[in-house]
Amino acid sequence: MIEVEGVRKRFGRVTALDGVSFRVAPGERVALLGHNGAGKSTLMKLIGGHLLPGEGTVTIAGRSVADAPDAARRALGYVPEEPDCWGYLSARETLDYVVAVRGGGDVEAALALTGLGADADRLVREYSQGMRRKVAIAAALVAHPPALVFDEALNGLDPPSALTIVGELVRRAEAGAAVLVSTHVIDLVPRIATRVVVLRAGRVEVDCPIADLGPGGLAAVFSGASAP
Amino acid sequence: MLAAALSLPLFEGNLLAFRHLEGADRVSGALGMFARVALVLTGVLSLRGYDLVVRGPDRGTLDLHPVPAVAYARARLARAAREALPAACTAFMFLLPVADSPPLLLAGALLLGGAAAAGVCLGVGVNLAAPGLGTNPAMAGLLDALRGANPRAQAALLWAPAGALFLGGLSVLGAMASLERALLGVDPGWAGAALPLVAVAIGARLAHTDADSLARLPGVLGEVEASWSAAEAAEEGSAVYMDWVVPRLPAAWQRETLRVLRHGWRGERGWLSLGFVGAAMAAAAGFLDPQRPERAALVMLTAAAGVGILGPRLRAREPGWLLLALPAPGRTLAHGVALWLWMQSIVLAGPIAMAVRNLPGAGEMLLRGELSALALAALGARLSTGGYAAVAVLVVAAGAFS
């Protein structure tokens, strides 16, 4: 489970998040939406442990990101918006490392899933931007953590690869993982998620199942035309 | 290297003068020189430890997955030690002036070796432990005294390099005092020479931190960087070094001069900051070497000439096609004015230091400096880097030795 409770975050005079609360239960898939500057990236960094909340708590599988960061990190597969992989290792070596430090996982399956099998032994520094993103996604998935957080992780992937990853996220959720994905690709949202959380000006404006939005409702919510 | 080159005129009179002394004075002088080199060595290596641990290129992946704390600490210590070897070898070259005195040679080797080991271990250990120390209740009092407006966790990370420098410096100075007493026969023991080893033990102990401290680092670092960005963004809108002069310039010069000042401050801040180092060295030269004013002039003008290189560097970046489309009248003049303004801290530092010490010749030094700065600014505003460097050498020589 991913739980965000009463999180406020300020940067100088700017309030990036103002009392954000929501939870992603095991088996649930949630899409985090919002315009540029709405606070999505700040919230994702807080969940990933790359920022600390000013107020409120973030917990991953019951472990506080602030108070028990190692345990929270072990429970989380996180793909940041701009992943930075080790260029001096191959994709296979990177995943071997992740499996070693996380205590298990299927490297070959992760390579096959992300389509990196044929290039698995090339150094990551030789990869294109999209392939590097696939390495980061494979690293997040390989050890089957109970919580998955993807921050704009599907950007730059070719459509078949993006759909394959979406399919895997659905399977992971069916197996009990809590999945949170932020994206600007509105067409993918119904495939990725069963629920949307929309941030506007640092606050949760909408938090409801996609099914409740009705035809065209998702686009309307995203553009701010209506809020159920 | 620039700082070292500018320091050269100061070395002999202030660092190596002990060679002409005898007995206790020679011992004190030599140990003073070793201590200064050892302090620099500890500082450089402990800051390198900060780079490795906090700013290392591996963070992108390390920040996403669990990190085996003990293995990570050992690997970082081993790498820091390996990377310290060139600096340590360079420092050991300062033993050459005492090669004829085995006791001084041994004392110097102990001091420099201890300083290198302390720098490595403290640099890695203190910075690795800092995120954990930031949440340790036992550290709350100290951190509250230091933190200002920062949360404790950030304060711990921000002050960690200073803590490493403090502990390393303390151990080096303690060892130096003990060795001096031993060599002068005041105190029979050399035990104080082991003080840097105590610093090594502290650093090594701190390096073996827990996994939570390692996992906390990206969050604390993210907070520091976010705070810095917020402060920098506010500064960018309001302050550029020397921009307060612009409203006092003729109206026709103001726009272009402000543009050059902004480009220089935002794009070449490191180079301009070296100019401040040059100003400090010019002040030191003016203050410390009253018998040889030409040395102070040489330091001052060399540093000013270094700042003048910004002219060609900035012009090389300007998009020529854009300048054709948007003509900028007075562009060369603006570069010259900006360069002259940037040189002022250097040109004023030496004469002010001489005036503070009530030495004769401060006025003459100021005149030489300003005339040379005008010449250097005019050259920097027009010439390419190579042409400027060649002519600037002549200006510096003429200004310093005329």
Residue B288 or residue A51, greater confidence: A51
The answer to whether residues B338 and B285 belong to one domain is yes
The answer to whether residues B259 and B220 belong to one domain is no
> How many residues belong to chain B?
402
Q: Which of B181, B203, B231 corresponds to the end of one domain?
A: B231
Interface of B to A at Cβ within 8 Å reads 58-61, 63-68, 151, 153, 210-212, 214-216, 218-220, 222-223, 226-227, 229-231, 233-234
CB-CB: which of A11, A72, A78 is closest to B226?
A: A11
Alpha carbon of B221 to those of A58, B59, B127, B158, B226: distances in Å?
Answer: 18, 11, 12, 9, 9
**Cβ distance of A78 and B64 shorter than 8 Å:** yes
Q: Residue A226's pLDDT is what?
A: 47
B29 located within any domain? yes
Q: Tens digit of pLDDT for each residue in B14-57?
A: 667 777 778 888 888 888 889 988 998 999 999 999 988 888 77
Residue B262 or residue B9, greater confidence: B262
B238 located within any domain? no
The answer to whether residues B213 and B291 belong to one domain is no
Q: Residue B278's pLDDT is what?
A: 83
Distance from CA of A127 to the nearest CA of B (A): 16
Question: What's the topology of domain A1-75+146-158+169-214?
Answer: Rossmann fold (3.40.50)
Residue B329 or residue A133, greater confidence: A133
Q: Residue A47's pLDDT is what?
A: 95
B278 located within any domain? yes
The parts of chain A modelled with pLDDT lower than 50 are 225-227
B96 located within any domain? yes
Tokens of A31: 């899409």
In chain B, residues with a C-beta closer than 8 Å to the C-beta of A74 are: 66
B23 located within any domain? yes
The answer to whether residues B180 and B267 belong to one domain is no
Q: Residue B236's pLDDT is what?
A: 59
B237 located within any domain? no
The answer to whether residues B142 and B173 belong to one domain is yes
| Mutation choice for B interface testing from A84, A90, A96 by most B CBs within 10 A | A84
Q: Which of B186, B209, B231 corresponds to the end of one domain?
A: B231
Buried b / exposed e along B226-251 (16+ C-beta atoms within 10 A): bbeeeeeeeeeeeebbbeeebeeeee
**Cβ distance of B63 and A86 shorter than 8 Å:** no
In chain B, residues with a C-beta closer than 8 Å to the C-beta of A51 are: 219, 222-223, 226
Mean pLDDT, residues B107-124: 94
pLDDT above 80 for B100 = yes
Spatial separation of the C-alpha atoms in residues B307 and B275, rounded to whole Å: 6
B236 located within any domain? no
3-state secondary structure of B122: helix
pLDDT above 60 for B283 = yes
Number of domains in chain B: 2
In chain B, residues with a C-beta closer than 8 Å to the C-beta of A139 are: 61, 64-65
B86 located within any domain? yes
The answer to whether residues B274 and B153 belong to one domain is no
The answer to whether residues B248 and B222 belong to one domain is no
Q: Residue B147's pLDDT is what?
A: 81
**Where does chain A hold its CATH 3.40.50.300 domain(s)?**
1-75+146-158+169-214
**Cβ distance of B211 and A70 shorter than 8 Å:** yes
pLDDT above 90 for B145 = no
Q: Tens digit of pLDDT for each residue in B59-70?
A: 888 889 998 888
Q: Residue B224's pLDDT is what?
A: 86
Distance from CA of B76 to the nearest CA of A (A): 16
Q: Which of B176, B211, B231 corresponds to the end of one domain?
A: B231
Spatial separation of the C-alpha atoms in residues B171 and A91, rounded to whole Å: 45
Q: Residue B14's pLDDT is what?
A: 60
Dihedral sign for Cα B278, B279, B284, B286, please: positive
* ipTM, 2 dp: 0.89
Question: Which residue is closest to A15 within chain B, CA to CA?
Answer: B230
Mean pLDDT, residues B59-87: 90
Range of the domain at B179: 2-231
**Cβ distance of A52 and B59 shorter than 8 Å:** no
In chain A, residues with a C-beta closer than 8 Å to the C-beta of B219 are: 49-52, 65-66, 69
Q: Residue B232's pLDDT is what?
A: 66
The answer to whether residues B226 and B247 belong to one domain is no
3-state secondary structure of B392: helix
A147 touches chain B (CB under 8 A): no
The answer to whether residues B210 and B247 belong to one domain is no
Spatial separation of the C-alpha atoms in residues B66 and A148, rounded to whole Å: 15
The answer to whether residues B211 and B314 belong to one domain is no
CB-CB: which of A45, A52, A102 is closest to B65?
A: A102
The answer to whether residues B144 and B55 belong to one domain is yes
Q: Residue B91's pLDDT is what?
A: 87
